Structure 1
Amino acid sequence: MTHMHITSWALGLILFLVALALYKKNSNKPATIVHMILRLVYLFIIVTGGLLTWDYIQGYGMPLLAEAIVKALAGLWIVVVMEGILVSTKKGKAVTGKWIQFFIALIIVIVLGFFRLPMGFYF
């Protein structure tokens, strides 16, 4: 399940960057298509992340419960902010605050997912 989650995140980030570039070039129809595909990938990200969180709860119990929940919430935060960045870019609104939120949440997710929780690099 971990590999599917990481693969869906990688695909999601690639599609996010492609949609963002297309919106900035005012190619709205192709950008909308990529954006809709990205929304489907969001579902894979959320489902696989939920299953991983459930695995943490079932397999590791209380010592890692708080960290797993914080990682899950930060992951959802990233999905929401990615959507907000794309919609704001499409409408021509400012996105500086959303980018700051994106990078803060991304750092939280990477540190917890790869370096603190057991299914990461160091465990």
Structure 2
Amino acid sequence: MGVFTDTTHLHIFTWVVGIILFLIAAVMAKGTKGRKIVHMILRLFYILIIVSGAFLFFKWSSSDAMLYGIKFLMGILTIGFMEMTLVRQNKNKPVTVMWVLFFISLLVTMFLGFKLPVGMKFF
């Protein structure tokens, strides 16, 4: 299982593609067949993000279990806000709060991910 746990490349690739697909689905016209297809592919990437993140969590969480647990929870919340934003958009309900919660949870998740020992050191 080294492909999942030796580096974070697979996990970073899946969440970058997931965010791009989310933004594409969010700007596409509601009710179109293309949006439904993009949304279904995005749901597949949700699973890939969670699986690759879970492998990293179980491998590396012994060094700082609390922060890794918070990061895991924030990642799940970010995916939840992404999904709720798209579903509420399809139902023509207000999505401003979902967008704000998505961006806040995404920033917190990325900050924790880069701060933890497996993350990248920018400074």
Structure 1 residue 35 and structure 2 residue 45: aligned? no
Task: Supply the distance in 2 between the matched residues of 1:26 and 1:101 (Cα, whole angstroms).
Answer: 21
* Alignment equivalent of 1:54, drawn from 40, 55, 58: 58
- Please state which structure has a larger fraction of its residues in helix: 1
CA RMSD, aligned part only? 1.4
Structure 1 residue 26 and structure 2 residue 30: aligned? yes
- What is the letter of the counterpart of residue 65 of structure 1? A
> Gaps spanning 5+ residues in structure 2: where?
none
Q: CA deviation at 1:111?
A: 1.0
Task: Supply the distance in 1 between the matched residues of 2:121 and 2:110 (Cα, whole angstroms).
Answer: 13
Q: Is the 8 A contact 2:77 2:105 kept in 1?
A: yes
Q: CA deviation at 1:57?
A: 2.2
Q: CA deviation at 1:50?
A: 0.6
* Same amino acid, percent of matched pairs: 42
Structure 1 residue 3 and structure 2 residue 17: aligned? no
Instruction: Specify the SS of the correspondent of 1:120.
Output: coil
TM-score (norm 2): 0.88
- What is the letter of the counterpart of residue 4 of structure 1? L
Q: Give structure 1 regions of 4+ aligned residues with deviation exceeding 4 angstroms.
A: none
Between the two proteins, the alignment pairs up a number of residues equal to 116
- What is the letter of the counterpart of residue 36 of structure 2? T
Q: Is the 8 A contact 2:85 2:98 kept in 1?
A: yes
